[in-house]
Amino acid sequence: MATAMQQQPYRGGSGYVARSSSSGLYDVLELILDKGLVIDVFVRVSLIGIEILTIDARIVIASVDTYLRFAEAVNRLDLMSTETQGLPELMEGITEGGASSKTKGMLQGAKEALFGDEDEEDEKEPATTKRRTSSTSAKRRRASSSSGSSERRSKSG
Amino acid sequence: MPATKHDMAKYVYGVVSTAASPPKGPGIDDAPIGVIPHGDVAALASDVAGDFLEAGREELLRHSRVLEETMAQAVVLPMRFGVVMPDEETVHQRLLDPYSEKLKAQLEEMDGKVEITIKGIYDEAAVLREVIAEDRAIAKLREAIHGKPEEATYYQRIELGELIAAALEEKRAAAAPQVIDRLAPLAVDVRVGEPVHERMAVNASFLVERARLKEFDRVVDQIGAEQAGRIQLKYTGPLPPHSFVELGIGG
């Protein structure tokens, strides 16, 4: 357990809470898109490549892709050397398990929506490219859920 | 194509008191932020092209930063992203004039308060181990599938995943109050949101008095330490009170 803890990417005052101010865009995305004063008729700006992330994450919770991914994750549990892997490695291990490559993009989309900062820290990927790519793939996935391998996003990092 | 003066519209970031000065930082499209005063309240706005209809990461960041900068020196009621009004006259007619009393009251109400969002994400391995240990049906189904080829167990895998999702949902329902009930007494108001992620245990916004922020933070740290290895807490703020402002009608 102690080992897993040391690998957590962010530490707050007590060492256990990840903190950020509003300068981390993905921490405030939900708020600035969904909350605040609004006069509906004047909200006319549409977002390119970004808006789908939070919406897509909601849909993902109750989907066959998620179910298959959970099944794969519990299936693999005992195969891991219990506590020696940190979360990022763990997630990589699961996504690359090959149960269903389709789940890969989904997981990473959701992961990026939530863990974007940590990923940037870990992988040093240019954030803009990554966001757009992941949300584009989310859009595609939604547009044609029975799509094949050409729809998938391959991850370089 | 550069827009002529006539084609310009007003992008509105938020509402402040007339006494507040606009933030120095540039707004969307690098335009300077100005105030549109109306009695005691004023809209923070900048010029955008009249055909400004699409935005991306840069514009979202600007919106957020303008509010953040304003917040450092004044009370601000944030607008939702993407409010564009055709001209200054419309800002008066549709926002400042009809809602002036409401806006003034909310500016007073939000004085000295900030929004903090707390998200809790389950550690996947930890929570799945809990689920297997606590639920016979899940443990049995997992054993039945284990080691068999995926193609042969496709529907069982879906069933297993569905059971896990349901178990997580139950855990979520139990975990959220454990976090929220501890923090709510330190906040003026609370908004509980839906999980936006399959492993999200908690998603809540708290309106906290700046004077009590240290105390609030300390309890967040305590909960974080108690949940270490199980739920990772993510703290965002202080933010302008996005979740706690409203115009009442029509949104």
| pLDDT value, residue B124 | 92
Residues B149 and B175 in one domain: yes
The pLDDT of residue B96 is 97
Q: Does residue B100 lie within any of the structural domains?
A: yes
Report the domain count for chain B: 2
- Who among A14, A48, A113 is closest to B224 (CB)? A14
Contact A36 B193 (CB under 8 A): no
pLDDT in tens, B34-49: 999 999 999 999 999 9
* Burial (CB count <10 Å: 0-12, 13-18, 19+), residue B245: buried
* Average pLDDT of chain B to the nearest whole number: 92
Taking the Cβ of residue A40 and every Cβ of chain B, the question of whether any pair is shorter than 8 Å is answered with yes
Q: Residue B195's pLDDT is what?
A: 82
Domain's final residue, options B85, B111, B137: B111
User: Across the strands, what pairs with B194?
Assistant: none
* Nearest alpha-carbon partner for B234 in B120, B123, B115: B120
pLDDT band at A114, cuts 50/70/90?
very low
Q: Cβ contact (<8 Å) for B165 and A70?
A: yes
How far the first Cα of chain B sits from its last, in Å, is 34
pLDDT of residue B3: 44
Instruction: Identify the residue with better confidence: B188 or B149.
Output: B188
**A131: nearest CA in chain B?**
B57
Instruction: Give the Cα separation of B223 and B183 in Å (integer).
Output: 9
A79 part of contact set with chain B, CB < 8 Å: no
Domain end marker among B68, B94, B111: B111
Given B14, B119, B225, which is nearest A14 (Cβ)? Answer: B225
What pLDDT does A124 receive? 35
**Residue-level pLDDT at B114:** 97
Q: What is the pLDDT of residue A76?
A: 84
Same domain (yes/no): B127, B179 = yes
pLDDT in tens, B57-92: 889 889 999 999 999 999 999 999 999 999 999 999
Do B107 and B125 reside in the same domain of the chain? no
Burial of A149 (0-12, 13-18, 19+ CB in 10 A): exposed
Same domain, B118 and B240: yes
Model confidence over B18-34: pLDDT tens digits?
989 889 989 999 999 99
Range with the lowest mean pLDDT among B34-43, B187-196, B210-219? Answer: B187-196
pLDDT of residue B6: 56
Instruction: In whole angstroms, give the CA distance from residue B81 to residue A45.
Output: 8
| B81 and B19 in a common domain | yes
In this prediction the ipTM stands at 0.82
A138, pLDDT greater than 70: no
- For residue B184, the 8-state DSSP code is G
Looking at residue A21, its pLDDT comes to 64
Closest approach of A17 to chain B, Cα-based (Å): 5
Q: Are residues B160 and B97 in the same domain?
A: no
Once rounded to an integer, what is the mean pLDDT over residues A51-71?
68
- Round to whole Å and give the CA distance between A112 and A53: 9
Q: In the prediction, which pLDDT does B21 show?
A: 87
Domain coordinates in residue numbering, chain A: 22-144
Taking alpha carbons only, the member of A30, A97, A45 closest to residue A70 is: A97
**Residue, of A143 and B13, whose pLDDT is higher:** B13
Q: Which residues pair with B9 in a beta bridge?
A: B48
Residue among B129, B158, B119 at smallest CA distance from A66? B158
A18-22, A61-65, B228-232: lowest mean pLDDT where? A18-22
The model's pTM is 0.73
**Same structural domain for residues B34 and B124?**
no
Answer yes or no: is pLDDT of A50 > 50: yes
B146 and B45 assigned to the same domain: no
What is the pLDDT averaged over residues B201-227? 96
Q: What is the pLDDT of residue A139?
A: 37
Q: So what's the pLDDT on residue A43?
A: 81
More confidently predicted of B112 and A16: B112
Segment B12-16 shows an average pLDDT of: 97
Beta-bridge partner residues of B77:
B15
Q: Is the pLDDT of residue A14 over 60?
A: no
Q: Cα separation of B187 and B116, whole Å? A: 10
For residues B3 and B54, which has the higher predicted lDDT (pLDDT)? B54
Claim to verify: residue B107 and residue B118 sit in the same structural domain: no
Domain span holding position B160: 114-244
CA–CA separation, B163 and B58 (whole Å): 41
Cβ–Cβ gap A32/B55 under 8 Å:
no
Q: In this structure, is residue B170 part of a structural domain?
A: yes
Q: Which of A1, A38, A73 sits opposite B83 (nearest CB)?
A: A38
* Structural domain contains residue B187: yes
Chain A: closest CA distance from residue B6 (Å): 18
For the segment A76-89, what is each residue's pLDDT rounded down to a tens digit? Answer: 886 444 444 444 43
Bridge partners, B83 (sequence order): A43
Last residue of a domain, one of B95, B111, B127: B111
Residue B137 in domain: yes
The pLDDT score that the predictor gives to residue B180 is 96
Q: How close, in Å, is residue A39 to chain B by CA atoms?
A: 6
Q: Is the pLDDT of residue A94 over 70?
A: no
Mean of the per-residue pLDDT values of chain A: 52
Q: Which residue has the higher pLDDT, B149 or A9?
A: B149
Residue B249 lies in a domain: no
Mean pLDDT of B122-129: 94
Same domain, B120 and B238: yes
Residue B237 lies in a domain: yes
Position B10 scores a pLDDT of: 95
Domain co-membership, B160 together with B82: no
Mean pLDDT for A117-121 is 37
